[in-house]
Amino acid sequence: MLDEATQKMQVAIGHLKTELAQIRTGRANVSLVSDISVDAYDSKLMIKELGQITTPEPTVLLISPWDKSIITNIVGGIAKANIGLNAVVDGDLVRIVIPPLTAERREQFIRQMHTILEKYRVEIRQIRHEFIEKLRGKKQLGEIGEDEEKRQKVEVQKLHDEFIEVIEVAGKVKEKELRQV
């Protein structure tokens, strides 16, 4: 049962890291655009499925579509995503120059990051609560004794504390990146 809680918490942390990677820091990062949806081939596909994304310079992203006929679709998808990046067609490539962040924009991103962190803290707490309720139910059904319930509650709490710490560290690292000029 503890393995199930660990797994759920690890999935939450994976989602957190994905969301944090999508917050712009003034440096080119593939994750800024990789998951943007693009209308292509009569469906919605992510940019990472449509071409190769590279960062030849610290402030430049290049997208090299495998099918050159969808370049305008990719540019349109980036514009629709409204993430503050301007994509330009450059021959067979899509070039995105990452503009430097203003102090105001940095603070806005930091507030956004804190909102995301809180969302995942709540999710970790909910997972802990869910498993404590399961333990209570097992105790009431007589499947486990009181000592076992207490022992497992302590284990779930330790797990909770570890994952909350991972969230805090991820937040501090991202905030440091955002504050870097």
Those residues with Cβ within 8 angstroms of residue 44's Cβ, 6 or more apart along the chain or in another chain: 37, 38
Domain boundary, last residue among 97, 124, 151:
97
CATH number at residue 53: 3.30.1360.40
111 shares a domain with 87: no
53 shares a domain with 33: yes
Domain boundary, last residue among 97, 121, 154:
97
168 shares a domain with 110: yes
Q: For 72-108, what is each residue's pLDDT tens digit?
A: 889 888 888 877 788 889 889 999 988 887 888 888 8
Domain that holds residue 35: 27-97
Q: For 14-71, what is each residue's pLDDT tens digit?
A: 999 888 887 877 777 888 888 888 888 888 888 888 899 998 888 888 999 998 888 9
Q: Dihedral sign for Cα 85, 105, 11, 140, please.
A: negative
46 shares a domain with 16: no
Which is higher by pLDDT, 18 or 11? Answer: 11
Q: Is the pLDDT of residue 181 over 80?
A: no
Query: How many independent structural domains does the chain possess?
Result: 2
Q: What is the pLDDT of residue 106?
A: 85
Q: For 99-150, what is each residue's pLDDT tens digit?
A: 887 888 888 889 999 999 999 999 999 999 999 999 999 989 888 888 999 9
116 shares a domain with 79: no
Q: What is the pLDDT of residue 14?
A: 92
With cut-offs at 50, 70 and 90, classify the pLDDT of residue 13.
very high
With cut-offs at 50, 70 and 90, classify the pLDDT of residue 177.
confident
Domain boundary, last residue among 72, 97, 122:
97
